[in-house]
Copies of this chain bind each other. A is one copy, B any other.
């Protein structure tokens, strides 16, 4: 297989690609290449788009940036003396156009050997062009990149003439870019085409954002690929965070080798930079495959801490203020930040009004003591009173018109409180503290807009906003049990009734609180937001009528215990569906960036318009017998 003696040593370099910083990334790669030379490695592999970064918005449309990427890539080629470097970069063909009329760009895999680029056999370009471009969820690669299928069509070539191995140092490499190996739903399989041409090693360079359970799926798919092809494959992915503005994604690395039997060889934990060296072909059975050891909640915990820390680093955030209510959400957020920041850089603030119980005030203080964070109490009573004085009873008149008086209702006063906390107090405190303040909202609240704009929906970052309330509880228990080894998050915060405490109707000491019923509504909201086939009230009502709703939703209680009549069930479903599709959308548009850890985080992975709540005709027909009118 190799022209030299001994099996080639291959090194995967998973690193924190800095989005939009081609020279910093190129420098990082050149350092890895220099180390590889010292270590006698023959083949160095770095991830997809490792020079420009992956999630960079429309930066691809600036020619100056593209030229910078080309030059930075060339500096890596020049560093490849005496070995081979495989790296991802944007490839620009300045003589052609994309279908949007802009300059032709490919998401490309470059193979540099001895300071020269090695082209695939018979290829029109000295690089491998990505064939399958994902255009779903957070991905929009078609927006900026041309692909190998359209290129082949343009050249009037069959695709299998374009997709050929790259032979370097005697090794026939089947180069794939991320989605190229996730081919189940495409009419073509780049991997199968390459395999038919004869490949010694498949190389998949990726920029694959982390979501819970995604690695398991990849391992199944990739292991089946290598078993079918009878050839090993390496997988090399980013670490770090990258974002689409509204949605912040972590990259867990998890780079690995699959031998031709489908065994997986990996090294180091996820979410860390790492370099891994293998011999090709790998000695099967020589090292036992390493199993992923973390369960789901521990993985979520790791992703949340990592994603928050890296996002803070990118923004230059060094001090953080968390408004703590005594409830579970703010406690979990504060606990997460306590694992990132020195105690003198974390300020917890309790901002009571008359509606906040001693119970929760004490829980907030207890949390701060447990975390040994800075702590202060700042009342909002004077702020509320001032706004009340200025607004309630204000008389309005115009030159030619009748007079009217403004009135603040109890509901309006709830929102006044929330805004007073965040926009008046927390924002000023954060500025004076030299930092930022957090948004502590969870996914259940964000789904139905159960939060106040410029109030508890404010903040620089919403790092638990991709967790359902039930997951927030699970995370709190996990942190106490496993991370802290003691109840740092007060047990009272886990047991108190969830409540915004904005009115006497939300008094936790009387067991009163939020209108969202946990865990039932979490299972409903998940069906609307996260399911692959996203449910609507139509499906819910069908299942309710069938008596299969609990099973379908995975709800362990009985729906009839929550809603005694069909009319009550329908009223509840419509209340929250209206909220999800109504004010929920308006609020999400102005919400802070969300840390994505699962499928369908709000933002770029859950696109939506302000359409108001919609019901299908079938739903209207089904509900008619149960409700006289809506």
Contacts and interface: CB of A to CB of B under 8 A. Distances in A.
Interface string A338-366: 00000110010000000000000000000
Residue among A143, A368, A589 having the largest count of chain B Cβ atoms under 10 Å: A589
A609 B344 contact: no
Contact of A392 (B64, B432, B538): B432
Interface string A589-630: 111110000000000001111111010111100000000000
A135 B100 contact: yes
B538 A383 contact: no
Given A399-B372, A609-B19, A62 B423 contact: no
A407 to B, nearest CB: 6
Interface residues on A, range: 35 or more
A185 to B, nearest CB: 4
A612 B55 CA distance: 13
A220 B109 CA distance: 40
Contacts of A590: 458, 590-592
Contacts of A387: 383, 424-425, 428
A609 B424 contact: no
Nearest to A427: B419
A610 B142 CA distance: 21
A6 interface: no
A533 interface: yes
B315 A391 contact: no
A347 to B, nearest CB: 6
Given A374-B397, A406-B432, A419-B423, A533 B63 contact: yes
Interface in A415-431: 415-416, 419-420, 422-425, 427-429, 431
Contacts of A406: 429, 432-433
Contacts of A56: 609, 611
Contact of A382 (B67, B316, B386, B607): B386
A478 interface: no
A197 interface: no
Given A142-B135, A408-B428, A97 B185 contact: yes
A30 to B, nearest CB: 14
Nearest to A613: B20
A170 interface: no
A129 interface: no
B401 A343 contact: yes
A396 interface: yes
A400 interface: yes
A288 interface: no
Q: Which 10 A-B pairs have the closest CB atoms?
A: A423-B423, A57-B608, A100-B136, A406-B432, A20-B611, A101-B185, A423-B454, A57-B607, A412-B431, A68-B616
Interface of A: 19-21, 23, 53, 55-59, 61-65, 67-68, 71-72, 97-102, 132, 134-136, 140, 142-143, 150, 153-154, 184-187, 242-246, 314-316, 343-344, 347, 368-369, 372-376, 378, 382-383, 386-387, 390-392, 394, 396-402, 404, 406-408, 412, 415-416, 419-420, 422-425, 427-429, 431-433, 453-455, 458, 460, 533-536, 538-539, 585-586, 588-593, 606-612, 614, 616-619
13 contacts: A61-B534, A100-B134, A143-B607, A153-B187, A245-B608, A315-B586, A343-B400, A343-B401, A347-B396, A372-B401, A374-B397, A374-B401, A407-B432
Given A343-B400, A374-B398, A392-B432, 14 more contacts: A19-B609, A21-B611, A58-B606, A59-B611, A68-B618, A135-B135, A245-B588, A373-B398, A382-B386, A382-B390, A383-B424, A394-B432, A423-B424, A590-B591
